Structure 1
Amino acid sequence: MFSDFDFGVIWRSLPYLFEQGMSFTLTLTVIATIGGIILGTLIAMMRLSSKPILSGFAASYVNVMRSLPLVLVIFLFYFLMPYIGQWIIRADRPIQVGALSSTMVTFTLFEAAYFSEIMRAGIQAIPRGQVSAGYAIGLNYREVMRFVVLPQAFRNMLPVIFTQTIVLFQDTSLVYVLSITDFMGAASKIAQRDGRLTEMYLFAACIYFIICFTASTLVKILQRRVSIVR
């Protein structure tokens, strides 16, 4: 079955696959995760706000982002943002938006919608009695959220946050639409160049499986530990 396989092409391509492809994939995953959690937490707090303008804006943002395919959001941001920027700063021509920066921003904004729902669930899971106790000892709203609610919400939602990060890691392969070389894109380029599609795609699938399966196993262990703490 594997007599015609050229495993040498995999070995020769390892430096390119991991130094350029996988490094970009991991960088994008980390940046989008951190940015998405920070922005998502702010959106979650806005959605829980008693002010209709803030809650309405946050709800609309989440519903719009979660209703669109990520690949469509990537296209829309990359092709429309130059004209939106031109209109905002009243420039004579569309502003320059590079594929790399566009991808970083798009993934962060898109993932923020999902992380916001995760954080909203975590915040709402905190007993109201703890919030009332925080106010009773003289804390204001920001201090209650900072010292009482958010630390517990983050801890409780860690398994779900890491699960969403695994999904994000898999979704990074969509950057091929902007001709950016991630791990999957690097494997595809080598496959097309050397005519070894089966070998490269099979190798890429194995790497994705190993990373995602390992991460999922660690998430399950973390989930058990968090449940014990609770």
Structure 2
Amino acid sequence: MYYQFDFATVLRGDYLHAFIHGTLITLALFAAAWVGSIVLGAVLAIVRQSGVRGGAAAVAAYVEYHRNVPLVVQLLFWYFAAPSLFPAPLRDYLASHGSEFPLAAIALMLCAAAYVSEDLRSGLRAIPRGQTEAGQALGMSYLLTMRTVIMPQALRISLPPLVNQALLLFKNTSLAMAVGVAELTYEAKEVDSSTYRTFEAFAVATVIYLAISFAIMFCGAALARRFNAAGVRR
């Protein structure tokens, strides 16, 4: 007896709404974690590149921790253990408003920032030191030189690995289901539990993940072409 496919069942009514809701939560989680990881990763890269011994060592320890501890363990730590260190008002607020999404976003952001910082540091090291010295000769501070001269170039150089990190972060949002975030994988599992249409439920989730992943790659390629064109004009 052949398996009878029935995609119509999982793509109508509450089940369709579940997939839409899960997709929106996944995108929101990805966006929050990615923006935060870019900002934090840039700060970490600048501190490590500055050569300040204590700061560089702290950043190196941060990077090694997040690169060697499984991400799911980091998610579980932030959801179950970290809140015990928060002030009581913050714990009460999270308990009453739902802590799953913000704590998962923090865990994903902190982990992604470690990888982003290394990609940006590679970009910073590719820029001739003379540019930093020229900025200082013009009276610019180290931070101002980094922000206006060095970091924009490092971002352009690091764009390919940063796109790869964006894809990895997007896929890693699926791990947030471990702490109860109702993202796409979580909703696909719920649809599967309700309809017993395992193939159809996860096939739909797979197609959505693929579509968004290709969109991220397309945006990365478009940015690369734009930066290359700008470099040629200069």
Aligned pair 1:50/2:51, yes or no?
A: yes
Counterparts of 2:219 and 2:84, CA distance in 1: 44
CA distance in 2, matches of 1:214, 1:77: 30
Q: Tell me if structure 2 keeps the 8 A contact 1:156–1:226.
A: no
Residue aligning to 1:17: 19
* 8 Å CA contact retained: 1:126, 1:153: yes
Q: CA deviation at 1:63?
A: 0.4
Q: Shift of residue 109 of structure 1?
A: 1.1
Contact 2:10–2:195 (8 Å) recurs in 1? no
Structure 2 residue aligned with 1:101: 102
**Structure 1 CA distance, aligned partners of 2:226 and 2:160?**
10
**Change over 3 Å in CA distance of 1:2–1:33 after alignment to 2:** farther
CA contact (8 A) 1:83 1:94 kept: no
CA deviations on 1:79-99 (whole Å, 9 max, x unpaired) are 2112333xxx5x6x9945522
Hey, what's the Cα distance between the residues in 2 that align with 1:28 and 1:218? Answer: 18
Alignment of 1:66-105 (within 5 A): 66-85=67-86, 95-96=91-92, 97=94, 98-105=99-106
**In structure 2, what is the equivalent of residue 6 of structure 1?**
6
Answer yes or no: is 1:156 the counterpart of 2:160. Answer: no
Q: Which residue of 1 aligns with 2:205?
A: 204
Unaligned stretches of 5+ residues in structure 1 = none
Instruction: Determine the C-alpha separation between the residues in 2 that align with 1:45 and 1:222.
Output: 23
How many residues are matched? 224
The percentage of counterpart residues that share the same residue type is: 33
Secondary structure of 2:72's aligned partner: helix
Aligned equivalents of 1:2 and 1:130: distance in 2? 67
- Partner of 1:24, secondary structure, is helix
Deviation at 1:70? 0.6
Runs of 4+ with deviation above 3 angstroms: 93-97, 220-228
Cα deviation for residue 102 of structure 1 reads 1.2
Following TM superposition, by how much is the alpha carbon of 1:202 offset from its aligned partner in structure 2, in angstroms?
1.2
1:173 alignment counterpart: 174
Q: Distance in 2 between matches of 1:189 and 1:195?
A: 10
CA distance in 2, matches of 1:82, 1:129: 46
Report deviation, 1:221. 4.9
Q: Give the drift of 1:78.
A: 1.5
1:16 partner letter: A
SS of the residue corresponding to residue 48 of structure 1 reads helix
Q: CA RMSD in A?
A: 2.3
1:112 match: 113
**1:172-213 CA-partner distances (Å, limit 9, x unpaired):** 000111121101111110111111101111111122122213
The separation in 1 between residues aligned to 2:174 and 2:26, in whole angstroms, is 8
Report the TM-score, using the length of structure 2 for normalisation: 0.87
CA distance in 2, matches of 1:23, 1:224: 28
Give the letter for the 2:161 counterpart.
V
What is aligned with 1:129?
Answer: 130
Question: What is aligned with 1:191?
Answer: 192
Gaps of 5+ in 2: none
Amino acid at match of 1:122: G
Q: Decide whether the 8 Å contact of 1:159 with 1:222 is kept in 2.
A: no
Instruction: Give me the whole-angstrom Cα distance separating, in 1, the residues matched to 2:188 and 2:47.
Output: 41
Contact 2:29 2:101 in 1 (8 A): no
